[in-house]
Amino acid sequence: MNSTTNDSQILLALNKPKGYLVTRSDDLGRKTVYNLLPDWVFKDGWMPIGRLDLESKGLLLFTRDGKINDALTKPSNCIKIYEVWVRGYVTDEHISEAKKGVESIHGLLKAKVEKIGNGGAKTKLKVELEEGKNRHIRRLFGALKDPKFGTPLKVLDLNRVSIGSLKLNMEMGKWRYLSLEEEKLLIKN
């Protein structure tokens, strides 16, 4: 994909599929997000802004500018939204607990959660994070118990659908430059 005069020169986006590590290289030879991008992205030092774990998918941004990276990962500076399927029955009490925060060995884990559907013993949620810690959503729901079975809730599918003003709008495994307008809206702060 070639850049045009309407494209950002400092930000690009990838729709990361499951099964790819967000790292420059892996000692075990596993696939990384750089396998999905042109060679020049790696060679020119483009770095991911934040992370998505191996089993997560969705919107991932890259930049070569450390200040932009810091601005977009600073807590409360850029809200990230996820669509999540959880095994178990998510109750209003769970949603309230998630908003207040759940203590874990990784610190306080909290999120704004909205129930958007269910199917069988699974619940579909919209989850908003102001600050994302390592495996934040998985650990948050793992700390909550299914009221029917008494077992921890388990995240089955996690898809990041937006970062700040930028919404996911690409096919899985594809990348593109942000437009200048998207760049401006995203880094306006």
Indicate the pairing of strand 47-49 with strand 107-109.
Answer: unpaired
The alpha helices in the chain, defined as continuous H runs, are: 39-43, 66-73, 92-100, 136-142, 180-186
Q: Quick one: which of 57, 51, 59 has its CA closest to 17?
A: 57
- CA distance readout (Å), 167 to 34, 61, 140, 182: 21, 11, 24, 10
Length of the chain: 189
Instruction: Please say whether the beta carbons of 158 and 54 come within 8 A.
Output: no
Q: Is 92 among the catalytic positions?
A: no
Give residue for tokens 């790292």. 23
> How would you label 7-36 residue by residue, b for 16+ Cβ within 10 Å and e otherwise?
bbebbbbbbbbeebbbeeeeeeeeebbbeb
How far does CA 4 lie from the centroid of its chain? 27
Q: Which of 26, 44, 53, 146 is catalytic?
A: 53
Catalytic residues: 53
